[in-house]
């Protein structure tokens, strides 16, 4: 018989990017006594991955647990970027409610709508936390109205509309029930979670069922499956059967060799766990997200929603440049293949397909950021490879019309830059849907634009708005193809011969445009060493030294002054490359190159194409 397990609450923290989810979880951990007195704890302790800490974003959802008045609150911190939406979709299966965090200045944003819609569709209870109320420009009352409007727009049920609101400053470490209350600590938020989120409803006498919603990976124990015990109980050394809703005919017998629960930031080994608890299982080979671990007597799979499809793809190729193998540890197609397929263990939104060539793999993801994080992780692990320009994934309808993915884009910019942004996005086939004020001299623009229209635009956007613009986008379905878009208006400066760049050669080349390299760097014929000021590609000789002669002219030997080269980040390189170019990625370097290095063969290919 179903009953409520009152000593547990399972909750996910969801929000738009940068609205303060991870900082909020930090405070809940600190104020629940997880850390020892005097223990030094860094900020955003949940962002454990190096890239997460450097970029200040959450990429992987993480589990933790805190205790409040004898109740164990299992908390899942989720990513805010649309590119990692797959992480959010699946972890909602483990929880009975969500804490929706909304910035007291920015209000409801595209990703707020996306994550909230998912939570409402799954009938989850909602607690709204209006965060950053200590910001000088905060407007909490208006934001509450925005959230209620959004709930109504998304057809929330009555119990979801009647959700508790809490006002907080995660940075300041306090929450209040009403604006104007004296701020003390996070107690009001703890109370809202305990009272507003229902206890898990379980049947401890029924057959065991655990849906695996997240996979962690550890070199020592292999795959670790994380999920909620829906019914029954689990014990170490228990016999179990694994079934999957999408593969009804497959059943595998396994044994539970290790069982853990979350406590603070640690996993604690336990011999036994009851229904309603979120647990981690290890020692089971080939455990996948969406698998259900059941008791052998009556194995029944729990339905698991399909994760949203990827919208963008790029080719990962074995590096075949003249400098191949000089900087990387893993360089062969076997290394590349094993690493990409291993990524599928933990990333449900990713797709990897083999192509006609043994040295090329098509990798599809949810956006440029999604794929660039994978590339950055691989280069840090010692992999060397090349990637092509990102391209969107097209579909065809029953009338064989070409359909392309569209994005809903919200742009907040100072008023003086709005004209430039509207012009640039319109050139990229964007359609302005709405325009209004966002407060503090900012204008909010709402566009619908093809996904490919945003490829390579973010860097340009930051330049056009002098770093003051905020742009957020979210997938908005497929629509008929909108026509061709011209991406880059400048050509490339291409190295004419292989060797080492010298000051004299670079000095002559810099008159043509902006350089990406300085003196003393290895180059090869066909490598892109800069951006031409004009539209065509130009070959330059940056290895050229000054012709030595016995005669000297006055003034000709003065020091040659070089403009500092443009230092391109990974994202900037991915935005810059054209369809006939590749980005060579090694642990030490990022080099842009032409796909065909030989100038004669490249010209022939260009003639054939035109």
Tens-digit pLDDT profile for residues 388-418: 998 889 998 888 899 998 988 888 888 888 8
Token representation of residue 178: 């009403």
Q: Which helix (H) or strand (E) holds 519?
A: none
The position carrying tokens 């003051």 is 468
Tell me the β-bridge partners of 272: 235
Q: pLDDT higher for 359 or 554?
A: 359
* 103: phi then psi, degrees, rounded to nearest 5: -65, 130
Q: For 436, phi and psi rounded to 5 degrees?
A: -160, -175
Contacts of 383 (CB under 8 A, 6+ apart): 328, 329, 330, 331, 335, 336, 339, 585, 587
pLDDT (mean) for 83-98: 71
Average pLDDT value over all residues in the chain: 82
| Region 577-591 average pLDDT | 91
Give per-residue pLDDT as tens, 109-131. Answer: 766 777 788 888 888 889 999 88
Q: How far apart are CA 110 and CA 453, in angstroms?
A: 18
Q: What pTM did the predictor assign?
A: 0.74
Query: What is the per-residue pLDDT across 205-247, written as a single tens digit (0 to 9) for each?
Result: 888 888 888 777 766 777 788 888 888 888 888 888 888 877 7
pLDDT of amino acid 551: 56
Q: Which residues of 419-435 are buried (b: 16+ CB within 10 A; e: fewer)?
A: ebbbeebeebbbeeeee
Burial 456-466 (b: 16+ CB within 10 A, else e): bbbeebeebbe
**What six digits make up the tokens of 333?**
């197609």
Q: How far is CA 213 from CA 77, 302, 304, 305, 586, in A?
A: 14, 11, 9, 11, 33
What value, to the nearest 5°, has the Cα angle with vertex 288 and ends 286 and 293? Answer: 95
Query: Residue 209 in contact with residue 231, Cβ under 8 Å?
Result: yes
- Token readout for 325 is 């193998």
Domains of the chain and any CATH numbers: 3-198 (3.40.50.300), 203-294 (2.40.30.10), 312-392 (3.30.70.870), 396-480 (3.30.70.240), 492-609 (2.40.50.250)
What is the model's pLDDT at position 134?
Answer: 85
Residues 120 and 110: their CA atoms lie apart, in Å, by 16
Indicate the pairing of strand 125-131 with strand 97-103: parallel
Rounded CA-CA distance 567/575 in Å is 14
pLDDT band at 550 (very low <50, low <70, confident <90, very high): low
Kindly state the average pLDDT of the residues 256-270: 81
Percent of the chain with pLDDT over 70: 88
User: Is residue 587 over pLDDT 90?
Assistant: yes
Q: What pLDDT shows up at residue 59?
A: 43
| Secondary structure of residue 466 in the 3-state scheme | coil
Q: How many residues in the chain?
A: 610
Sequence-distant (6+) residues with CB within 8 A of 190 are 28, 31, 32, 68, 69, 73
Average pLDDT over residues 444-470: 84
Which residues on adjacent β-strands are paired with residue 292? 211, 243
pLDDT of residue 547: 67
45-82 residue pLDDT tens:
444 445 544 444 444 455 788 888 888 888 887 765 45
Contact predicate 371/330, CB 8 Å = no
pLDDT tens readout for residues 495-524: 988 999 988 888 888 888 889 998 989 999
Token pair listed for 129: 């936390």
Could you tell me the maximum CA-CA distance found in the chain, to the nearest angstrom? 101
Coil vs helix vs strand at 196: helix
DSSP state of 203: B
- By three-state DSSP, how is residue 415 classified? helix
């Amino acid at each position: 018989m179903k009953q409520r397990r009152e000593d547990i609450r399972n909750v996910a923290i969801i929000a738009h990017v940068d609205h303060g989810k991870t900082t909020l979880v930090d405070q809940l951990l600190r104020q629940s006594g997880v850390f020892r007195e005097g223990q030094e704890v860094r900020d955003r302790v949940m962002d454990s991955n190096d890239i997460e800490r450097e970029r200040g974003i959450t990429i992987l959802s993480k589990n933790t647990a805190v205790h409040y008045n004898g109740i164990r609150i299992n908390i899942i911190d989720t990513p805010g970027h649309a590119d990692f939406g797959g992480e959010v979709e699946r972890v909602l299966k483990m929880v009975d409610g969500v804490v929706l965090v909304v910035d007291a200045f920015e209000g409801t944003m595209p990703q707020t709508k996306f994550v909230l819609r998912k939570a409402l569709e799954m009938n989850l209870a909602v607690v709204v936390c209006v965060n950053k109320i200590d910001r000088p420009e905060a407007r909490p009352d208006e934001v509450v109205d925005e959230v209620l409007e959004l709930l109504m727009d998304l057809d929330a049920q009555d119990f979801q509309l009647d959700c508790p609101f809490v006002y907080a400053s995660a940075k300041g470490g306090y929450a209040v029930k009403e604006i104007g209350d004296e701020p003390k600590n996070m107690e009001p938020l703890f109370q809202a979670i305990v009272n507003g989120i229902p206890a898990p409803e379980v049947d401890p006498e029924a057959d065991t069922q655990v849906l695996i919603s997240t996979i962690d990976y550890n070199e020592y124990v292999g795959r670790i499956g994380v999920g909620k015990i829906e019914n029954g109980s689990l014990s170490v050394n228990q016999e179990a059967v694994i079934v999957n809703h999408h593969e009804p005919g497959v059943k595998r017998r396994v044994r539970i060799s290790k069982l853990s629960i979350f406590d603070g930031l640690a996993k604690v080994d336990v011999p036994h766990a009851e229904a309603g608890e979120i647990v981690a299982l290890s020692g089971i080979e080939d455990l996948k997200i969406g698998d259900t671990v059941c008791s052998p007597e009556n194995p029944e799979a729990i339905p698991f929603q399909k994760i949203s499809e990827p919208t963008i793809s790029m080719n990962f190729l074995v590096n075949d440049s003249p400098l191949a193998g000089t900087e990387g540890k893993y360089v062969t197609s076997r290394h590349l293949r094993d690493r990409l397929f291993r990524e599928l263990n933990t990333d449900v939104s990713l797709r990897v397909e083999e192509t006609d060539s043994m040295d090329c793999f098509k990798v599809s993801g949810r956006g440029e950021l999604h794929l660039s994080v994978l590339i950055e992780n691989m280069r840090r692990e010692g992999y060397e490879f090349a990637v092509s320009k990102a391209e969107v994934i097209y579909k065809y309808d029953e009338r064989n019309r070409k359909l392309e993915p569209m994005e809903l884009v919200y742009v907040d910019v100072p008023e003086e830059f709005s004209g430039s942004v509207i012009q640039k996005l319109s050139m990229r086939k964007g359609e302005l849907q709405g325009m209004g004020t966002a407060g503090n001299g900012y204008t909010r623009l709402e566009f619908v634009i093809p996904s490919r229209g945003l490829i390579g635009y973010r860097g340009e956007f930051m330049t056009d708005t002098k770093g003051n613009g905020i742009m957020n986008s979210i997938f908005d379905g497929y629509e008929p193809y909108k026509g061709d878009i011209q991406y880059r208006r400048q050509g490339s400066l291409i190295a004419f011969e292989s060797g080492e760049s010298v000051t004299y050669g670079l000095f002559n080349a810099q008159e043509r445009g902006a350089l990406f390299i300085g003196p003393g760097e290895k180059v090869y014929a066909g490598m892109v060493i800069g951006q031409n000021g004009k539209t065509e590609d130009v070959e330059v000789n940056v290895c050229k030294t000054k012709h030595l002669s016995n005669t000297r002219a006055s003034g000709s030997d003065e020091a040659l002054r070089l403009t500092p080269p443009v230092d391109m980040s990974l994202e900037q390189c991915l935005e810059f490359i054209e369809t006939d170019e590749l980005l060579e990625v090694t642990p030490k370097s990022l080099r842009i190159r032409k796909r065909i290095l030989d100038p004669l063969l490249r010209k022939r290919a260009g003639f054939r194409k035109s």
